[in-house]
Amino acid sequence: MRHADPLIELDSITKHFGEGEARVDALRGVSLTIAPGEVVGLLGPSGSGKTTLLNIIGCILEPSSGRMRLDGELLFDGRWQRADLRRLRLDKIGFIFQAHNLMPFLDAHDNVALVLHLAGQSGAEAAARADELLDYLQVGHRRRAMPASLSGGEAQRVAIARALANRPRIILADEPTAALDSERAGIVMDLLRRLAREQEAAIVVVTHDEKIFPRLDRMFMLRDGRLVDGGARP
């Protein structure tokens, strides 16, 4: 059952780069809310502001104006309201990218456990959690494989396991299926949908990949930094 309160709340978020004649308005008054258990798509042509918006939700990029709440906490209101954004990202936000970005010198298990070590968990706790996630994502049998020996689908599932290591409430995925065939893309999206439901997480997927549209709960369209289609269902 979903909680009543949204996990992501954006109110009139703007972002510009540069000043004067060189100013570029990347986001223009974007407002949206996303509830626990939802998998939403963020669509739009190149340069529309999708990645900028994802980086703002991930507390990597500072908005120019507006308000943002994540998991009920007011994080931005004209300026950041919290100093330890790195800790916030580690505790509450998981990132998944088109390129899996696994550490090439660590095996699948240690790629996942590394995040837990950074969060201060003991070796035994981190190892157990890494094993649990890899088994859950059906790549436990590849736990000692190096990234170079993993298939594209296996590497992406290890990357998802890493993103989920600290049980984040918010998962941000930037083109996670672009490099996968239809079957593997479907598997990855089915996993994300299951995770959203079971862990009551909000998942935002930046995508151009039409084959995953039916697996999204809602789709938001950005054009020239504006939300022009706010939450249509596929």
Contacts with 71 (C-beta within 8 Å, 6 or more apart), sequence order: 7, 92, 169, 170
- In the predicted structure, residue 3 carries a pLDDT above the cut 50: no
**For 24-75, how does the pLDDT look when each residue is reduced to its tens digit (9 = 90+)?**
999 999 999 999 999 999 998 888 899 999 999 999 999 999 999 999 999 9
Q: How far apart are CA 90 and CA 191, in angstroms?
A: 21
Q: How far apart are CA 142 and CA 110, in angstroms?
A: 12
Name the packing angle between helices 123-136 and 152-164 (round to 10°): 130
**Token pair of 57 as six digits:** 């939700």
**For 114-127, how does the pLDDT look when each residue is reduced to its tens digit (9 = 90+)?**
988 888 888 888 99
Q: Look at residue 230 in the predicted model and tell me its pLDDT.
A: 65
**Token pair of 166 as six digits:** 């600290």
Instruction: List the 65-70 sheet strands across, edge first.
Output: 24-34, 8-17, 65-70, 73-77
**For 173-226, how does the pLDDT look when each residue is reduced to its tens digit (9 = 90+)?**
998 887 777 887 888 888 889 889 988 999 999 988 888 899 999 999 999 999
What is this structure's pTM?
A: 0.86
Structural domains of the chain, with CATH: 8-232 (3.40.50.300)
* Phi–psi pair at 47, nearest 5 degrees: 85, 5
* Phi–psi pair at 71, nearest 5 degrees: 50, 40
Categorize the per-residue pLDDT at 4 as very low, low, confident or very high, splitting at 50, 70 and 90. Answer: low
